[in-house]
Amino acid sequence: MFGVLSEIAFLVQRINWLTVVDLILVTIIFYVLLLLLRDTQAQTLMRGVFFMIIAISLLTTLLNLPAFSWLVGTTLPALLFAIPVIFMPELRRGLERLGRAGSGALFMNRPMMNQDAASQTFKSIVSAAARLSVFKQGALIVLQRQDILSEYEDTGVKLGAKVTPELLMQIFYPNTPLHDGAVIIEENRVTAAACVMPLSASGVLNSSPERQMGLRHRAALGISEATDAIAVVVSEETGSISLAHRGRLMRRLSADKIENILQAFFKQPDSSDEGSSLKKWFQHLLEPHDESGF
């Protein structure tokens, strides 16, 4: 026990400002990695790996354990190579989130949609979603923001038609050629229909108490994880309307609520905020998520 206390006292005496900076940098790296893996199945496992590494490092530093130190020194490099392979999908989603946050800061002052056209588009989407909900006709409507969705448009049928409630209802009418898949909307145009979206693997729907959520909701979450797009989903089983963004799903929304949310997401940036792009970037990256909102 006395030897351990002596080692701790020796380490404390060696601490200087460079040591403090070193520890802060390592802490920041661990924190950022946990942020990148936030809302993924690997988050808990990665946290456990970090705690295990810290505990092993303390043991090998404070105690003279030759065999244990040899085992750690032999297996740790292999573990460090294995972690990126095991967590590749989660790390990719995290880096995509970081890239979207950075691009949002770089293009903060670029308008995403003309406000008059946006307002009319939102009214058409909300009207169609409300009417589809009444008849329990499933639908998946994806609204493009900063990220280009051309690769997903190529999986469907190109249209280039103006957004109207009647067009959306006709597309999602059961058993029609274009009803199975997603509609992609850019500004006030339906660019493509019957598009294939990436399916979410985050496990959000698996933990949901509602089991009526199927491929449409998984596809809505998937496109919101891969891009900054917003997806509006109408459930074929219950008729409820949901909205997905950044890998989160807001469920059982009213028509007015959806229109207000869309208006907020596509609101033009205030010119008075030009000097705070970096601050907004970090807020976008670090902002909390929960089950009921964004």
How do residues 29-65 score in pLDDT, each as one tens digit? 877 776 766 655 556 666 677 777 777 777 777 677 7
Average pLDDT over residues 73-91: 70
Q: What is the pLDDT of residue 51?
A: 76
The answer to whether 138 and 216 are in contact (CB under 8 A) is: yes
pLDDT per position as a tens digit, 96-120: 666 655 554 444 444 455 677 788 8
Domain finish residue from 86, 106, 126: 106
- Shared-domain flag, residues 63 and 152: no
- Shared-domain flag, residues 136 and 246: yes
- Shared-domain flag, residues 91 and 216: no
Domain finish residue from 106, 126, 150: 106
Q: What is the pLDDT of residue 197?
A: 94
- Shared-domain flag, residues 143 and 32: no
What CATH number does residue 251 fall under?
A: 3.40.1700.10
pLDDT per position as a tens digit, 185-225: 998 899 999 999 988 876 666 655 555 568 899 999 989 88
Residue 179 within a domain = yes
- Shared-domain flag, residues 86 and 192: no
Residue 291 within a domain = no
- Shared-domain flag, residues 88 and 178: no
- Shared-domain flag, residues 154 and 14: no
β 139-143/189-195 pair status = unpaired
Domain ranges, residue 145: 115-266
Residue 27 has pLDDT above 80, yes or no: yes
Nearest to 286 by CA among 47, 31, 116: 31
The four Cα atoms 14, 16, 18, 19 give a dihedral, to 10 degrees, of 50
Nearest to 251 by CA among 209, 222, 188: 209
Q: What is the pLDDT of residue 138?
A: 92
Residue 205 within a domain = yes
Domain finish residue from 106, 128, 157: 106
Q: Which of 45-54, 95-104, 142-151, 276-285 has the lowest mean pLDDT?
A: 276-285
Q: What is the pLDDT of residue 44?
A: 61
Reported pTM: 0.62
CA 241 distance to own-chain centroid: 20
CA angle, residues 222, 224, 226, in degrees to nearest 5: 70
Distance (Å, whole) CA 59 – CA 51: 12
pLDDT per position as a tens digit, 262-276: 988 887 555 444 444
Q: What is the pLDDT of residue 210?
A: 52
Q: What is the pLDDT of residue 152?
A: 92
Alpha carbon distance, N-terminus to C-terminus of the chain:
50
Residue-averaged pLDDT of the chain: 76
The encoded tokens of residue 161 equal 């038609």
Residue 272 within a domain = no
Q: What is the pLDDT of residue 102?
A: 53
Q: Which of 21-25, 27-31, 172-176, 255-259 has the lowest mean pLDDT?
A: 27-31
Residue 286 has pLDDT above 50, yes or no: no
Average pLDDT over residues 112-136: 86
- Shared-domain flag, residues 123 and 257: yes
How many C-beta atoms lie closer than 10 Å to residue 183's C-beta? 27
- Shared-domain flag, residues 155 and 220: yes
Residue 185 within a domain = yes
Residue with tokens 């404070």: 62
**Whole-number Cα distances in Å, 283 to 27, 80, 82, 111:** 19, 30, 31, 20
pLDDT band of 288, cuts 50, 70, 90: very low
Residue 233 has pLDDT above 90, yes or no: yes
Nearest to 125 by CA among 144, 97, 107, 101: 144
Q: How much is the CA Rg of the chain, to the nearest whole Å? A: 24
- Shared-domain flag, residues 92 and 139: no
pLDDT band of 230, cuts 50, 70, 90: very high
Q: What is the pLDDT of residue 94?
A: 62
- Shared-domain flag, residues 126 and 175: yes
- Shared-domain flag, residues 215 and 253: yes
